Amino acid sequence: MFRTLVPILLFVGVIGITDANAMTISVDSVAQTVALPTSGFVDVLFTGTLTIDPGFEPAGGFLTSLWTAGGDMIDSAFPDFTNNLTGTLFSVRVASTDGLGLYAFSADLIHPALVSFDECPIGGGFCNSVSVNYSVDVVPAAVPEPASLLLLGSGIAGVMTQVRNRRRHAA
């Protein structure tokens, strides 16, 4: 069931979502993959465009926290929500202490995680909202290839040989 969820989420993010009032959100990539940092954290930026109706203004919104299907929550319990109309719409902080896996659910582990943006008429009135599902797949950090390590080791050995030769000639 879950494997079919990610392509659906990706498709929704690429085309954007529109409600009857024409407020739209278009996220460049709603399903992102990030390498687990070896220390500290990395911010995963979700970029796109939010179009507000004429006569309306941004009024906030919310993000659900991210969980794996197994019940692990990402360390940044509530991702950073911004109210930009273009650029970074929201971000998720992945810490080195987070587990590996696909974080794509809200706290009930049944519903997909989502971000929702609101617009309200200037001067008051009924507000509209639009939302989109999102996920972060945390994968292991890349390990250096053996050839790279061999090249580094050869370089160190060469430097050590040069140092040894200079000491012999100096004595």
Q: What is the CATH number of the domain that holds 63?
A: 2.60.40
**Distance (Å, rounded) from C-alpha 35 to C-alpha 142?**
7
| Same domain, residue pair 58 and 120 | yes
CB 140 within 8 A of CB 100: yes
**Distance (Å, rounded) from C-alpha 68 to C-alpha 6?**
13
For residue 9, the model assigns a pLDDT of 39
| Same domain, residue pair 109 and 167 | no
For residue 171, the model assigns a pLDDT of 65
| Same domain, residue pair 136 and 157 | no
Please report, in angstroms and rounded to a whole number, the separation of the first and last CA atoms in the chain. 74
| Same domain, residue pair 136 and 84 | yes
| Same domain, residue pair 78 and 157 | no
With tokens 């100096």, the residue in question is 170
| Same domain, residue pair 22 and 105 | yes
Q: What is the pTM of this model?
A: 0.68
| Same domain, residue pair 72 and 107 | yes
| Same domain, residue pair 110 and 162 | no
CB 131 within 8 A of CB 9: no
Q: For the chain, how many structural domains are there in total?
A: 2
Cα Dmax for the chain: 90
Task: Assign 79 to helix, strand or coil.
Answer: coil
**Which residues, in sequence order, are bridge partners of residue 116?**
62, 131
For residue 170, the model assigns a pLDDT of 67
| Same domain, residue pair 53 and 107 | yes
**Distance (Å, rounded) from C-alpha 144 to C-alpha 110?**
37
Instruction: Give the range of the structural domain holding residue 152, as residue numbers without chain letter.
Output: 143-171
| Same domain, residue pair 126 and 55 | yes
| Same domain, residue pair 119 and 89 | yes
CB 84 within 8 A of CB 48: no
| Same domain, residue pair 104 and 164 | no
**Distance (Å, rounded) from C-alpha 9 to C-alpha 44?**
17
For residue 78, the model assigns a pLDDT of 59
Regions of the chain short of the pLDDT cut 70: 1-22, 76-83, 143-153, 155, 157-159, 163, 167-168, 170-171
Eight-state DSSP code of residue 120: E
